[in-house]
Amino acid sequence: MEKKFSNRLSTINLHYKIWMSDEDEQGILGDGKWQILKLIDEKGSMKAACDELGYTYRRTWGNLKKIENFFGFPLLEKHRGGSEGGRTALTPEGKKLVKAFDRFHASVDSVIQKGFDKFLQDLK
């Protein structure tokens, strides 16, 4: 293999997205929705999480409602606030969903990374 090509192998970065869909191929849960749920939990605010990821509040709200409708449980607890302001938290079921996706993603990441490493090795 050409040395120039071989030297470029170390500059290849792997990117992929994971998502799940229903029988009609409508997205249920994937990397973007997982990230927004994690940020809502971290920041205690859906607006702050949307702002950080550049997501619109309205679309995010609709996407989270779709997840709730599919799974049949609420993801968020909204607490209106007085002088301190309100906060948004994940429900216990929402936290369980995020943790399950965390574990799933970690296991998939490992398999995909091994496959990618094998791909690069095969090119050498």
- Taking only the tens place, the pLDDT of each residue in 17-39 is 999 999 999 999 999 999 999 99
Q: What is the CATH number of the domain that holds 46?
A: 1.10.10.10
Rounded to whole angstroms, the Cα distance separating 46 from 38 reads: 10
In this structure, is residue 9 part of a structural domain? no
In this structure, is residue 11 part of a structural domain? no
Q: Where are the alpha helices (DSSP H) in 1-91?
A: 3-8, 31-43, 46-53, 57-71
Decide: 68 and 75 in contact? Cβ < 8 Å. yes
In this structure, is residue 118 part of a structural domain? yes
pLDDT at 123: 84
Question: Is residue 84's pLDDT more than 90?
Answer: no
In this structure, is residue 1 part of a structural domain? no
Rounded to whole angstroms, the Cα distance separating 92 from 104 reads: 18
In this structure, is residue 50 part of a structural domain? yes
In this structure, is residue 72 part of a structural domain? yes
Across residues 113-120, what is the average pLDDT?
Answer: 94
- Who contacts 20 (Cβ-Cβ below 8 Å, separation ≥6)? 27, 28, 29, 30
In this structure, is residue 7 part of a structural domain? no
Number of residues in the chain: 124
In this structure, is residue 6 part of a structural domain? no
The structural domain count of the chain equals: 1
| Domain extent for 115 | 26-123
